[in-house]
């Protein structure tokens, strides 16, 4: 299995699909749809193959040999001249416990989103082409182990996203699209800067013993690789690691989105077409937190240790703030959007704890939020397709009209509330357990538990406003969900409940890596001269 470049395949398969689609005619709408469906389906299959061949005891994180499905070869090589060493950039893919869940998530969500894209009605060709391009970008971000490659994939998503929101979006799509674009670009320039800074701060020792600057994330995690005078080198007494960390964090925080960088999210979500909202909430938001775990944490453990309290603080703010704002929303989709803000707060909180349970919880929460919020947005989509409105107060009594739909809604909502026996509960519980275990952020954790209550508040209120009470006669003609929509809901429902009952299925994947990561965070880069806060 190792010989076979499965990661490349799973990453670039969509591009292949895109090319195929580009060669199809505009008129062959269905062919295009089914091609996309097939591609994403294969992706899911590949993801499952990955899982079946996955070695649960390999840690990864910072040591190359314990990564899995590694593909590594020289991508860019520029012969050196005296004053500018050789530039070597690797095409370096691999997965470990941190990325595996995300890969699974991406494959799954893309597949579901494809199904829900079925009723996209105009310029299909462009839509699905961009959709697949986006897919590649997302997958790539999660499997890339070279900072440069990572960045390329990271930026690769922007443009398709812009068009997907901007062309197939709602009334204020243009505003939302450009806002998303600008925000994320603004974030990523900081990432770029830090990337370059790191490049000049650490060297990789080649087989022939020569040292060259490197973008290789794993090399950057090794404090021994840093040069004495690199601006981001811990050995350099007046290094800029602290600022760099902040810059990097902002870059990722915008994607999460972390308060106060979250304002692009509601607009983007409200305007985006349903499948794109699903992708956006299901996968894109995770990239922020994933980036922090994969890059900020292991490369800057010193600063991370100093700043954990603040990260937790922001986590708390996200949780509470998001929940409160959600409570006040009148628009179904906006409400869900803000609930995402709240839920990503748990991820931040869990990560901030720097404990195995916490980080496990965080990653698990990333996955669960992916599935649950995806389902929530699909739900919004279903009702919006039928009623062409999202105003919470325009509805009422839909439960009578669409019982099956209501059933799924109930599942999704209670999953979002964090009801035990649903996956959401486990992750949130782990997050709290982990965070509570750390003295310094114990109070923050206690306050954060309010999120559980508020969550129940806005979710149930929504449930009641839309589905309960006497049926609003305006909707007496709405049809209950049909086969295609069952096809979207059932897999998610099954996953949500299965993981709620048997969380180890996911936790075991990440456990080893997370343990390693936490160990690493606590024991490395101790020489840094950062005063902290």
Position among 23, 52, 84, 473 found at the interface with other proteins (CB under 8 A): 84
97 binds other proteins (CB under 8 A): no
CB of 152 to other proteins, least distance (A): 4
287 binds other proteins (CB under 8 A): no
User: Which is nearer to other proteins, 111 or 361 (by Cβ)?
Assistant: 361
263 binds other proteins (CB under 8 A): yes
Backbone angles phi, psi at 75, to 5 degrees: -105, -55
Determine the distance from the C-alpha atom of residue 518 to the mean position of all C-alpha atoms in its chain, rounded to a whole number.
20
CB of 109 to other proteins, least distance (A): 23
User: Which is nearer to other proteins, 3 or 483 (by Cβ)?
Assistant: 483
Burial class (CB in 10 A: 0-12, 13-18, 19+), 449: middle
Residues 6+ apart with CB under 8 A from 51: 100, 104, 509
User: Which is nearer to other proteins, 75 or 310 (by Cβ)?
Assistant: 75
User: Which is nearer to other proteins, 9 or 87 (by Cβ)?
Assistant: 87
User: Which is nearer to other proteins, 223 or 342 (by Cβ)?
Assistant: 342
82 binds other proteins (CB under 8 A): yes
Lookup: tokens for 254: 């915008």
Q: Which stretch binds other proteins (CB under 8 A): 32-40, 365-373, 382-390, 507-515?
A: 507-515
478 binds other proteins (CB under 8 A): no
321 binds other proteins (CB under 8 A): yes
User: Which is nearer to other proteins, 111 or 318 (by Cβ)?
Assistant: 318
Half-sphere exposure for 293 (CA within 13 Å, toward CB): 40
344 binds other proteins (CB under 8 A): no
Q: Are 201 and 245 in contact (CB under 8 A)?
A: no
**Distance of alpha carbon 408 from alpha carbon 382, whole angstroms:** 11
CB of 481 to other proteins, least distance (A): 14
529 binds other proteins (CB under 8 A): no
CB of 243 to other proteins, least distance (A): 8
Q: How many helices (H) and strands (E) does the chain have?
A: 23, 4
CB of 452 to other proteins, least distance (A): 6
Residue length of the chain: 533
Q: Are 198 and 150 in contact (CB under 8 A)?
A: no
Q: At what angle do helices 124-143 and 6-23 cross, to 10 degrees?
A: 170
Q: Is 61 helix (H, G, I), strand (E, B) or coil?
A: coil
Residues 6+ apart with CB under 8 A from 503: 364, 423, 426
- Sign of the torsion angle spanned by Cα atoms 394, 398, 402, 405: positive
User: Which is nearer to other proteins, 45 or 501 (by Cβ)?
Assistant: 501
CB of 164 to other proteins, least distance (A): 11
| E-strand stretches of 188-306 | 203-205, 211-213
User: Which is nearer to other proteins, 94 or 424 (by Cβ)?
Assistant: 424
Position among 24, 235, 400, 487 found at the interface with other proteins (CB under 8 A): 400
Strand-pairing partners, residue 72, are: 92
Position among 25, 73, 79, 207 found at the interface with other proteins (CB under 8 A): 79
Position among 468, 472, 486, 491 found at the interface with other proteins (CB under 8 A): 468
User: Which is nearer to other proteins, 42 or 452 (by Cβ)?
Assistant: 452
Q: Which of residues 159-198 bind other proteins (CB under 8 A)?
A: 159, 162-163, 166-167, 172-175, 177-179, 181-182, 185-186, 189-190, 192-193, 196-197
31 binds other proteins (CB under 8 A): no
Q: Which stretch binds other proteins (CB under 8 A): 62-70, 156-164, 375-383, 386-394?
A: 156-164
Q: Are 256 and 289 in contact (CB under 8 A)?
A: yes
Identify which of 182, 126, 136 has the alpha carbon closest to the alpha carbon of residue 156.
136
75 binds other proteins (CB under 8 A): yes
**Distance of alpha carbon 65 from alpha carbon 60, whole angstroms:** 7
Phi-psi region of 468 (alpha: psi -120 to 50; beta: other; left: phi over 0): beta
Q: Which of residues 265-284 bind other proteins (CB under 8 A)?
A: none
Look at strands 203-205 and 211-213 and give their pairing: antiparallel
Q: Which stretch binds other proteins (CB under 8 A): 96-104, 294-302, 344-352, 517-525?
A: 517-525
């Amino acid at each position: 299995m190792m010989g076979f470049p499965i990661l490349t395949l799973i990453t670039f398969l969509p591009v292949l699909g895109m090319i195929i689609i580009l060669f199809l005619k505009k008129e062959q709408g269905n062919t295009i749809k089914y091609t996309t469906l097939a591609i994403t389906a294969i992706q899911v299959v590949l993801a499952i193959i990955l899982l079946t061949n996955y070695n649960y005891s390999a840690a990864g994180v910072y040591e190359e040999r314990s990564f899995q499905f590694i593909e590594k070869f020289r991508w860019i090589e520029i012969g050196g001249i005296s004053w500018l060493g050789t530039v070597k950039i690797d095409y370096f893919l691999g997965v470990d416990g941190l990325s595996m869940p995300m890969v699974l998530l991406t494959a799954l969500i893309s597949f579901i989103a494809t199904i829900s894209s079925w009723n996209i009605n105009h310029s299909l060709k462009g839509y699905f082409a961009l959709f697949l391009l986006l897919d590649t970008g997302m997958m790539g971000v999660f499997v890339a182990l070279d900072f440069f490659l990572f960045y390329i994939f990271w930026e690769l998503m922007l443009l398709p996203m812009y068009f997907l929101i901007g062309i197939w979006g709602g009334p204020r799509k243009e505003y939302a699209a450009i806002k998303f674009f600008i925000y994320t670009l603004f974030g990523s320039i900081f990432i770029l800067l830090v990337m370059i800074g790191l490049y000049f701060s650490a060297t990789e020792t080649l087989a022939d013993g020569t040292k060259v600057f490197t973008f290789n994330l794993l090399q950057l995690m090794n404090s021994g690789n840093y040069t004495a005078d690199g601006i981001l080198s811990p050995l350099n007494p007046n290094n800029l690691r602290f600022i760099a960390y902040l810059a990097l964090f902002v870059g990722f925080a915008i994607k999460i989105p972390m308060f106060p960088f979250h304002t692009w999210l509601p607009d983007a979500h409200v305007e985006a077409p349903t499948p794109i909202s699903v992708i956006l909430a299901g996968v894109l938001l995770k990239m922020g937190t994933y980036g922090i775990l994969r890059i900020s944490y292991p490369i800057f453990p010193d600063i991370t240790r100093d700043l954990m309290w603040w990260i937790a603080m922001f986590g708390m703010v996200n949780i509470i703030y998001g929940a409160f704002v959600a409570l006040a929303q009148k628009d179904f989709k906006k409400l869900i959007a803000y609930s995402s803000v709240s839920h990503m707060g748990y991820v931040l909180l869990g990560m901030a704890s720097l404990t195995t349970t916490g980080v496990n919880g965080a990653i698990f929460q990333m996955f669960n939020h992916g599935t649950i919020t995806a389902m929530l947005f699909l739900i919004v989509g279903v009702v919006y397709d039928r009623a062409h409105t999202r105003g919470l107060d325009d509805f009422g009594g839909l439960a009578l009209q669409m019982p099956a739909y209501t059933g799924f809604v109930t599942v999704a909502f209670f999953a979002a509330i964090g009801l035990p026996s649903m996956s959401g509960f486990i992750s949130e519980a782990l997050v709290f357990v982990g965070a509570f275990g750390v003295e310094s952020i114990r109070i923050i954790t206690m306050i954060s538990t309010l999120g559980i209550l508020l969550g129940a508040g806005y979710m149930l209120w929504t449930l009641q406003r839309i589905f309960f009470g006497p049926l609003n006669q305006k909707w007496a003609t709405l049809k209950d969900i049909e086969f295609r929509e069952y096809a979207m809901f059932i897999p998610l429902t099954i996953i949500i409940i299965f993981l709620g009952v048997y969380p180890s299925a996911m936790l075991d994947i990440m456990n080893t890596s997370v343990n390693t990561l936490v160990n690493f965070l606590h024991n490395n880069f101790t020489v840094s001269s950062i005063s902290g806060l």
